[in-house]
Chain A
Amino acid sequence: MLDLSALLRPTSPEEAIRLFAETPGNGLYVSGGTVIVPSGSPNLDFLVDLSAAGLDYVRPLADNASTGTAGEGPGLALGAGTCICDLARSQQVADLAGGVLHEAAAAVANHTVRNRATLGGNVVASHYPTDLPPALLVLEASILAMNLDGKREIDLETFYTDRRTQHKKGDLIVEVRVPGASRNLTAAFEKLGRLKLDIATVNAAAAVRVEGGGVVHARAAVSGTGRPPARLHDVETFLIGQKADRETFEEAGRIASESVDPRSNHRASGEYRKKMIGVLVRRALERAAEK
């Protein structure tokens, strides 16, 4: 059980980072709390609660830099405090890239947990493995992070490959940005567990743009390898210029499987995961291409 000496409740992101910096002891942010509260971590001294910090929103990306080129339509800014259930319910999210993010959100935990669990927590607590990161990775999402030095946009892939330097204690994730370019893609999410309602043994997402029967853009990502969620660049490179057909996607699955080296744990062996990544990537590609 938690044994905190303080719980702070800022009403803005600015106040959140300030309170975090000012409070002595070992602290963390808490958002929906579905990971941090059950953890009962006994060596936490304080939590900074984000639920009143105004991070709960889904809106078109206003920022010029991230707006898509003409015809693409704007990207989306998803507040880190948005609960997964709202992502699963949002029409704006469902309309984006064949609804991959909607699929991933609907696959998280159960109805009740989704009403608390937030996007920010899902991105940060990716050791589980959580379901949103692969979907966000294939959409080439980025993160708007903030600390006392100011705000910075980090692309999600870099966030995961270089987490130690990209995400320091007290760094607040304000929002996740999905670029407008993703409107030209179709993408799908796949998850495998023992039961339907289960933490993923592995999960995967894939995004494609098919023109004239050929793949002109491809992204694939997985989680559940025992390492951070990751893009599968070998698969992406292979796919460009290939015909969007069953053989291609089967080969892509094979490459996916070869390009990962997952760990074993009580859910499954690394060997099984390796195979399943191939299957899930292929299935995601097939479904994405059909959308």
Chain B
Amino acid sequence: MTLRFVVNGKDVAVEVEPSEVLLDSLRRLGYRGVKSGCRTGSCGTCTVLLDGRPVPSCTVLAAQADGREVTTIEGLGDTDNPHPLQSGFLRQGAAQCAYCMQGMILSAKALLDTHPHPTDEEIREGISGNLCRCTGYVKAIEAVAELGGTRLHLDSSNRHPHRNPGPYATVGDPVEKTEGIGLVSGRAKYTDDFAFEGLLQGRIKRSPHAHARIVSIDASKARALEGVHAVLTCEDVPRVPHSTAGQNCPEPSPYDSVMLDRKVRFVGDRVAAVAADTPILAKRACDLIEVEYEMIEPVLDFERAMDEGAPVIHDEDDATGILDASRNMAAHVDAEVGDVEEGFAKAEHVFEHTYRVQYVHANPSEPHIAATFLDEKNRLVVVTSTQVPFHVRRIVSRVNEIPLHDVRVVKPRIGGGFGVKQEVIVEDICAALTLATRRPVKLSLDRSEELVSSRTRHPQILKLRTGVAADGTILAREMRVLTNTGAYGSHGLTVPSNTGSKSLPLYRSPAIAFSNDTVYTNLPVGGACRGYGAPQGYFAMESHSDEIAHALGMDPAEFRLMNAIREGDEDPIAEKLGEGKEGFRRVIQTNGLPECWERVSEAADWEGWRSKLEPGQFGTPGSFRHSRVGKGITFAMHGSGIPGDDMGAATIKANEDGSFNLLVGATDLGTGSDTILAQIASEVLGVTPEKVVVYSSDTDRTPFDVGAYASSTTYVSGGAVVKAAEMVRDRLLVHAAALLAEGPQGLTCADGKVTAPSGKSVSLADVANAAMYGEDKEQISFTASNVTYDCPPPFAAACCTVEVDTETGRVDVTDFVCAVDLGFPINPALAEGQIEGGVLMGLGYALSEEMLFDGKGRMLNDNLRDYRVFSSVDAPPIRAILVRTDEPTGPFGAKSVSEIPVDVVAPAVANAIYAATGVRLRDLPFTPEKVLAGIEALAAAGGEGVGAGGRR
């Protein structure tokens, strides 16, 4: 049927299929700013204005738009003529990956059209259909409020003033992202935005069973279907055991995966792959593949996985690196410093508690997607939404048995990663489909596949035991962990190592022991996920800290401060745990924790609130009859890169006009690392950031980088940029010296010129021009790489305020303050964005997110209606505070910021719920039902708290 409508003021006519949704028609017409995120009306990335109103275009049948007017982000403005909302979002640093932002800006536009001066609440309501996974909505709301001329919703006294803290020129500035308006006008290209001639659609047939052997597989009907170009089963692809984890080689994860296997190990595991002309044909083909399964009893309870006689999940004989496949044990970690038993014997009190954390998903706005094709030289090109292009290249080449030099991996803009894209789970098989068909193939996961079949945050059970002296000094501590890695062991050793190595060093103790068993189950696969094991460890440890403080009758802040690690301290447990093997000696050189706490305590009025409580009283009255308010705190430290393991490299080349090309392997996931690296280069070279043109993440054209993980990019890759920039600068100074007829000593490079001690100066453009066209011609270009052994930890303190509905158990977070000592803030706006977004992700972990399974291992809530992440109306005001320390080992004093905010959240919420009600919850997430059960149990036990005398 013919659809006639008006798009951005233009009359358009297009043929559409009856099932086609408006999202697809618009993208087909070239309006690529309309993004596909869930296709179920739940995420809002596909938002367009239909007759002026924001709607999810994935739920609108194309024909329903007949005769109507549609506005897409492209209709609002572009680089040359941006809409004030687009420039406002960019200026405020509201856009991270920006995958959600095209839609959000349209919602904001519609709001301002009807409410020119919206309140905070109206703004939150207006963008409530646009879920953002990167940010805390804070800056987007500010951008809209600014344009509406309404009061900024946050008390700016607690916020970073966004003035450069000095003493640098561009480093420290809240520079706008290098992508510019393109990022918020639909121009920025994500993987799905590349057009290829003759493109085929890939699709994976997935297992409906948790544990089964494939007896036979008959693809003949699928192959016979017209428009189907390849059907791959385990018989058609190489069998190369590998780990899908994007880690340095050899990976510290077992080689327990093959591209397609004869066995399926979880509901959603790969069975076969198809390439066809259209998505619907690919789906029909998958449905036509006939598979005969022999069912095996699944292992669904990870506490039973190691039992005698439990079904063996990895019984294949070619897997390597599995600790003990016969007992479903993927990995084990053990470390001890001092003698814990001796410490416990000496202790006045010993506390022991067990905590449980659930399956959650990083859930980036853009699901996994890759496109592969053969270039004019028949080399395989992989365009993919990844955090680790160089690891993708290595793994794709290995599992497809083609030479590494025949593979090029390019990462375009990506719609968020958070760890889940540190994994090779679409590229290998997409490449196989291209190799089989010799045609371009695109393979994207739908939201359900993303949730079920990509990677998750490992569930754990954590037992903590702590011995303290009478005054509260910690004498011994032990953490024993059981980790569920699901069907495959990717990151199954290193994630739990980090559970201990990131959290345990925070408090001094003469004796610390850590152990972990990682087991396989027939459930979705664990992987890297923002925080990498630390959020699990911190939930347990910082809940435990509170429990100890309360038992001792101490102020929870005081207990923490007296035991916390100090500047100059060594950190033996982190050294022991390393990254799957013994690590490196670490001495804390900068520690802003006391200042973090001071600022948080003041901003959250911690003392004031506590002084309102009678001894033994829980909670203060809330905004309605049955509500109680409480505040909870957390401290944390994290790391900056993997010491001795992470390597980042940068190439800088000078152009004759005094501009530079910065080529980095580092991957910007939306975090703004391209911008930050440009700032670092420009600082060293004495130019403005616009003079540094960044090109990143292309294995053919940029130097190596491990990729974006472990909070490493600013610290590790930034260090490489400093080195390369210094080399380029020194070379430029040689040419400048000749031009100035002065010695190179004492020349400085700043403000776009080179200045001699005599005061004589020459512009950098003249120097660069002379280098290229003058007497001594050369291309000034240097590559430097950087590895560090220090891993300086950022520190954080947080305070969460909750209001608990004591009749329903529902917890409303009404305020969250988080201060991070991140070293020197290279870009304070982007750093705040990391904190706000990390906190919001942590709130989902604490309160709403949970992957739930039925008795057969099928996920029950595999969509974003039922797997609930925080929307703008659920999000509290998040107040990010940047605490500056100058880390001597980091570029311009920088450490890191992106993961630590997730660490502080769940325990702060747990502690706040306790403070409000007297109910201690040790089992994430705190659903209303669990909270209420806690309240009722407390009442039944006649305990102190809301149930009993708490309603004073």
Contacts and interface: CB of A to CB of B under 8 A. Distances in A.
Contacts of B279: 1
A196 B873 contact: yes
A52 B68 CA distance: 11
A2 interface: yes
Contacts of A194: 810, 847-848, 868, 927-928
Nearest to A268: B929
Contacts of A269: 929
A110 interface: yes
Interface string A102-116: 000000011111011
Contact of B130 (A3, A46, A112): A112
B204 to A, nearest CB: 15
Interface stretch (A29-37, A139-147, A166-174, A180-188): A29-37
A264 to B, nearest CB: 10
B54 A7 contact: no
A197 B866 contact: no
Contacts of A266: 852, 860-861, 866
B126 interface: yes
Interface in A230-269: 265-269
Contacts of B871: 110, 195-197
A33 B56 CA distance: 10
Say which size band chain B's interface belongs to.
35 or more
B363 to A, nearest CB: 15
A217 interface: no
A34 to B, nearest CB: 5
B721 interface: no
A37 B929 contact: no
Contacts of B280: 1, 3
A5 B17 CA distance: 8
A197 B58 contact: no
A112 B59 CA distance: 11
Contacts of B129: 109-113
A130 interface: no
A38 B58 contact: yes
Given A4-B18, A196-B873, A111 B107 contact: yes
Contacts of A38: 39-42, 58-59, 863
Nearest to B283: A1
Contact of B56 (A47, A52, A85, A113): A113
Contacts of B60: 33, 37, 116
Interface string B853-891: 000000011010110101101100000000000000000
Nearest to B38: A38
Residues of B contacting A: mostly: loop
Most buried by B among A33, A47, A275: A33
Contacts of B865: 199
A4 B19 contact: yes
Contacts of A193: 868
B833 to A, nearest CB: 22
Contact of B18 (A7, A199, A276): A7
Contacts of B59: 32-34, 37-38, 113, 116
Most buried by A among B53, B59, B129, B868: B59
B64 A49 contact: yes
A83 to B, nearest CB: 9
A280 B868 CA distance: 22
A135 interface: no
B21 interface: yes
Interface string B90-128: 000000000000000001000000000000000001111
Residues of A contacting B: mostly: loop
A133 to B, nearest CB: 18
A34 B55 CA distance: 10
Contacts of B929: 268-269, 272
A279 B19 CA distance: 43
A131 B808 CA distance: 18
A223 to B, nearest CB: 16
Given A33-B64, A115-B54, A192 B128 contact: no
A227 interface: no
A116 B56 contact: yes
Given A1-B279, A47-B61, A272-B929, A9 B130 contact: no
Contacts of A34: 41, 56, 59
B18 A112 contact: no
Contacts of B56: 34, 112-113, 116
B63 A9 contact: yes
A229 B783 CA distance: 68
A217 to B, nearest CB: 25
Interface in B1-57: 1, 17-19, 21, 39-42, 44, 47, 50, 53-56
B605 interface: no
Contacts of B50: 115
B870 A110 contact: no
Contacts of A3: 19, 280, 283-284
B128 A112 contact: yes
A30 B59 CA distance: 11
A179 B524 CA distance: 52
Nearest to A49: B64
Contacts of A275: 932
B53 A85 contact: yes
A201 B874 CA distance: 16
A148 interface: no
Interface in B119-151: 125-130
A195 B808 contact: no
Interface string A1-16: 1111111010000000
A192 B808 CA distance: 8
Contacts of B19: 1-4, 7
Contacts of A267: 866
A95 interface: no
B290 interface: no
Nearest to A50: B64
Contacts of A116: 41, 55-56, 59-60
A199 B868 CA distance: 10
A290 interface: no
B631 to A, nearest CB: 21
A122 interface: no
A203 interface: no
Contacts of B39: 1, 38
B807 interface: yes
Contact of B928 (A2, A9, A109, A201): A201
B66 interface: yes
A37 B58 contact: yes
A276 B808 contact: yes
Contacts of A225: none
A82 interface: no
B928 A37 contact: no
A110 B928 contact: no
A195 B866 CA distance: 11
A3 B847 CA distance: 37
21 contacts: A1-B39, A2-B19, A3-B280, A4-B19, A7-B18, A30-B61, A37-B60, A37-B61, A38-B41, A38-B58, A38-B863, A46-B18, A111-B107, A111-B128, A115-B55, A116-B41, A116-B59, A192-B810, A195-B868, A195-B870, A197-B874
Interface of A: 1-7, 9, 30, 32-34, 37-38, 46-47, 49, 51-52, 85, 109-113, 115-116, 192-199, 201, 265-269, 272, 275-276, 279
Which 10 residue pairs are nearest across A and B when measured between Cβ atoms?
A112-B129, A38-B40, A7-B18, A2-B19, A110-B129, A110-B128, A266-B860, A4-B18, A195-B874, A4-B19
Given A112-B55, A116-B55, 15 more contacts: A2-B19, A3-B283, A4-B19, A6-B18, A110-B871, A110-B873, A112-B47, A112-B107, A113-B129, A116-B60, A192-B928, A195-B848, A196-B812, A197-B128, A272-B928
Interface of B: 1, 17-19, 21, 39-42, 44, 47, 50, 53-56, 58-61, 63-64, 66, 107, 125-130, 279-280, 283-284, 807-808, 810, 812, 847-848, 852, 860-861, 863, 865-866, 868, 870-871, 873-874, 927-929, 932
